[in-house]
């Protein structure tokens, strides 16, 4: 997804709001805890990061951005319901964020709360009508409820998402292209190695999810494995791919 919530900048604004001298110790404690939480997160120590964010909220339960950041880390740790609870609290404290909160929509999908997910992505359409991923995630929620054919007929119309290969991903889900077309688009225009890797990450992510929707779980896992292991990007969607891969791996193991 294209929109993002910048935690570091918003935390600085929050700390700056603690203007009274009596708040100096509190500000320093929160900053130290946030720094440790961020370090744990960068090291993929998600439980430790959650613990530090929880300590911050024990000091001040009004810090909306801490709920947001803890929700992101909860998701990365595979704690889907906990991530939704934190996102809900973030939105309660910051209602303006509701319409654009695509991370909550993704968590709804993995919690099998498909109607909530569909509504979240429909709301996001009013925030940005040019995001193919938003249409795809709404489509995914609808497939789980009404089937692939009805979902295709009601797929959101998207404007000019210029990211490669998003237009091809959209047409794949719509039923108008094949998976090979998505990968061919990734190589068009002679992208440099970094650009190509990022394109291939999204191609493997969404081709993998598409294969799962069609019932081809083994192929889906192979694509998600390539996305996460061969094309790591510094974006929340990489964590989404990893969580999806791990959940799918458990399903495949159970089926043996």
Could you tell me which residues come within 8 angstroms of residue 244 by beta carbon, excluding any fewer than 6 positions away? 110, 205, 208, 209, 224
Tokens for 237? 């969607």
- Tell me what pLDDT residue 23 has: 81
Domain ranges of the chain: 1-98, 162-256
- Tell me what pLDDT residue 14 has: 57
Tokens for 218? 């083994």
- Tell me what pLDDT residue 24 has: 84
- Tell me what pLDDT residue 103 has: 98
- Tell me what pLDDT residue 11 has: 59
- Tell me what pLDDT residue 1 has: 78
The CA–CA distances, whole Å, from 76 to 25, 45, 65, 95, 248 equal 31, 10, 17, 24, 15
- What does pTM read for this prediction? 0.92
- Tell me what pLDDT residue 10 has: 53
Mapped onto helix, strand or coil, the DSSP state of residue 203 is helix
- Please count the CA atoms within 13 angstroms of the CA of 141 that sit on its side-chain side: 28
- Tell me what pLDDT residue 197 has: 98
Mean pLDDT, 10 residues at a time, the chain of 256 residues? 54 53 82 95 96 97 96 98 98 97 98 98 97 98 97 96 97 98 97 98 98 98 98 97 98 82
| CATH superfamily of the domain spanning 1-98 | Tetratricopeptide repeat domain (1.25.40.10)
- Tell me what pLDDT residue 145 has: 95
Distance CA 119, CA 124 (A): 9
């Amino acid at each position: 997804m294209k929109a993002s919530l910048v935690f570091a900048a918003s935390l600085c604004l929050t700390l700056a709001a603690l203007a009274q001298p009596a708040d100096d110790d509190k500000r320093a404690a929160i900053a130290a805890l946030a720094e440790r939480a961020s370090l744990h997160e960068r090291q993929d120590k998600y439980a430790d990061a959650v613990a530090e964010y929880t300590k911050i909220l024990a000091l001040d339960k009004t810090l909306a951005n801490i709920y947001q950041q803890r929700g992101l880390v909860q998701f990365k740790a595979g704690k889907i319901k906990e991530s939704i609870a934190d996102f809900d609290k973030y939105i309660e404290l910051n209602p303006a964020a509701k319409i654009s909160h695509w991370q909550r929509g993704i968590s709804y999908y993995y919690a099998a709360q498909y109607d909530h997910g569909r509504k979240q992505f429909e709301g996001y359409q009013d925030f940005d009508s040019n995001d193919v991923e938003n249409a795809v995630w709404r489509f995914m929620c609808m497939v789980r409820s009404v089937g692939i054919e009805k979902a295709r007929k009601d797929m959101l119309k998207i404007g000019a998402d210029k990211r490669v290969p998003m237009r091809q991903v959209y047409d794949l889900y719509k039923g108008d292209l094949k998976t090979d077309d998505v990968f061919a688009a990734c190589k068009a225009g002679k992208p440099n190695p970094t650009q190509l890797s990022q394109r291939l990450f999204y191609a493997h992510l969404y081709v993998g999810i598409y294969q799962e929707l069609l019932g081809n779980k083994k192929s889906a896992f192979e694509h998600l494995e390539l996305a996460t292991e061969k094309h790591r990007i510094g974006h929340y969607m990489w964590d989404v791919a990893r969580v999806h891969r791990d959940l799918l791996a458990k399903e495949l193991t159970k089926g043996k």
